[in-house]
Structure 1
Amino acid sequence: MALCMLKFSPLFPSVASKPHGVRPALHPRVVVSGKSSLSSSNSLRGFPVILPKTVSGFVSSSPKQSSFTVFAAKGYKMKTHKASAKRFRVTGRGKIVRRRAGKQHLLAKKNTKRKLRLSKLLQVDRSDYDNVIGALPYLKVNRLAK
């Protein structure tokens, strides 16, 4: 039988009385009120919040003044599947190529002609392009290359 010891924490005084898996309530000093000291124009951890700003063009005599809005929004950065990045590469014409299977071990029983054939690169089949491009979103691929 395992012995479970609970350590008393000043921020969470009711930890010992709660059953396993139940989150303890916050200490009264940590309760967040309806109004917080942060607003959309304040900074968090010293970094300023970038808000959309309107930048107007040069003043001209025409009634229409050109203006545009600058947004500083971060989008989701897609991740490269690193195992796939080590297995595939792109040729100069944009084709995806891979190594052939069967050249890793048991080479003594394979003749030289077979080993030479297995050493050459092979173009990935068109039906697998979507899978490879999904794993490698920043790969510069020419989908129309034949």
Structure 2
Amino acid sequence: MASSSFFNCTSLLTPIKPIRITSCCHTTVCLPQFAKKSTPLNLSSSHSISGFSPLIVSSPNRKPQSLTIVSAGKGYKMKTHKASAKRFRVTGTGKIVRRRAGKQHLLRKKNAKRRTRLSKTIQVDRSDYNNVIGALPYLKVNRAN
């Protein structure tokens, strides 16, 4: 089976002319172009694919260095605590407000005046501001209020 040739792999792609790409930092990259021939591939195990040259990167001023991907330098991005984001909101004047507790269930034994009072929002206490702002770092809060 190794001696029979079904396809000829080496003659499928032949190098024509390398392309030179120059970037802004004067680094030249050579990429070979290949033309397609209509000959069958040889799939025997003794043949290897030839015609492919390695990617050549050359720089006129410096030696080749290892590729390092660096972030844009903005630093760490804080994460919003999503459960807190659903519980608190900011008014137009920059105050943090919350809902009152006790309006979820067992409402039949609470009178209408109490249910109405529990429906309204209330400003977060000043002692809790640091906890809320720590959980919601991108909240537009007026810290003077």
Range into which the TM-score falls when normalised by the shorter chain? 0.5 to 0.7
- Post-superposition CA distance 1:61-120 (Å, at most 9, x none): xxxxxxxxxxx4131000000000000000000000000000000000000000000000
Give the structure 2 partner of residue 39 of structure 1.
65
| Pairing 1:139–2:111 present | no
Counterpart amino acid of residue 135 in structure 2: A
Deviation at 1:43, TM superposition (A): 5.5
2:89 equivalent in structure 1: 89
Q: Which residue of 2 aligns with 1:108?
A: 108
Q: Take 2:131 and 2:91, find their aligned partners in 1: how far apart are those partners?
A: 18
Runs of 5+ unmatched residues, structure 2: 1-63
Q: Distance in 1 between matches of 2:65 and 2:78?
A: 30
In terms of Rg, which structure is larger?
2
Partner amino acid for 1:103? K
Name the structure with the higher strand share.
2
Number of paired residues?
82
Distance 2:74 2:139 in 1: 21
Letter in 1 for 2:65: S
Within 1, Cα distance between the matches of 2:73 and 2:65?
Answer: 18
Which aligned segments of 4 or more residues in structure 1 are displaced greater than 2 angstroms?
none
Aligned to 2:80: 80
Partner amino acid for 1:131? N
TM-score, normalised to structure 1, is 0.52
SS state of the match for residue 132, structure 1? helix
CA offset at residue 39 of structure 1? 3.1
Paired AA for residue 136 in structure 2: L
Once the two structures are aligned, what percentage of the paired residues are identical? 79
Q: Any stretches of 5+ residues in structure 1 without a counterpart?
A: 1-37, 51-71
Q: What TM-score does the superposition give when structure 2 sets the normalisation length? A: 0.53
Distance between the aligned counterparts of 2:97 and 2:68, measured in 1? 48
Q: Matches of 1:85 and 1:39 in 2, distance apart?
A: 45
Q: Using CA pairs under 8 Å that are at least 6 residues apart, name the structure with larger relative contact order, 1 or 2.
A: 2
Q: Which amino acid aligns with 1:124?
A: V
Question: The residue matched to 2:130 in structure 1 has which SS?
Answer: helix
